[in-house]
Amino acid sequence: MNATLKKSGTFVAFAWFGKLLDPRDQAFADALANRRFRSIDTAASEEVSAGWVTPADPTGNSFALEDMDAGPGTWLRVRIDTKKLPKAQVQMHLAAAARAQGKPLTARQRRELKDDLAEKLLPRVIPTTTNVDALLYHDRRLVLLFAGGKSARETFGKLFAESFGVELQPLGPLAMALQSVETPDVETVERMEPTRWPVGRRNS
């Protein structure tokens, strides 16, 4: 694994069934570009934007094949931007409005004030950004997704299916081991002894 990609953390393994574009061909890069990341920096509403980028270009404006080259694998990255009104700012404005009129705001007043704040503040709010990385091994039909959260996995899987027309299927430990070797041998893999990680002594 490329050391610059991931030094620690969890990953989930997937396989796909069907024909997938060759990552060495321009058609693969074009498929990513068709579902590239779209900026929501100036959006005036709460939004989430997810799309492909490359490690060399976080904007999603270019997809050079060499920028995704990870030796035996292909480096994929999804950028997810989320724009939301800051809760603290909303609560301060609601409290100030209630004090100004001397009584609690009605549900309608709260909704109207939130809408007004969204129109004024959201275009200036900087979205939070999350990058989700994966390594794709085309010859072995294997994808290692370096994200443990359900939302990230679902976003990546949906984007992958929309881009390439094939769906990812999660792999268990045995299936991942078989998918990872050049000549799968179930009996050999099943006989492999698990690693015994050292543990400290427990206090009695």
Please tell me the number of Cα atoms within 13 Å of 124 on its side-chain side: 7
Q: What is the pLDDT of residues 61-108, one digit of tens each?
A: 999 999 999 988 999 999 999 998 878 878 888 888 888 888 888 888
Q: What is the DSSP letter of 175?
A: H
Give the other-Cβ count within 10 Å of 203's Cβ. 4
**pLDDT at residue 43, as a whole number:** 87
Which pair of tokens denotes residue 104?
């609690």
The CA distances from residue 59 to 39, 55, 87, in Å, are 8, 10, 27
**pLDDT at residue 88, as a whole number:** 81
One-letter identity of residue 52? W
**pLDDT at residue 110, as a whole number:** 85
**pLDDT at residue 188, as a whole number:** 56
| Mean pLDDT rounded to a whole number for the chain | 83
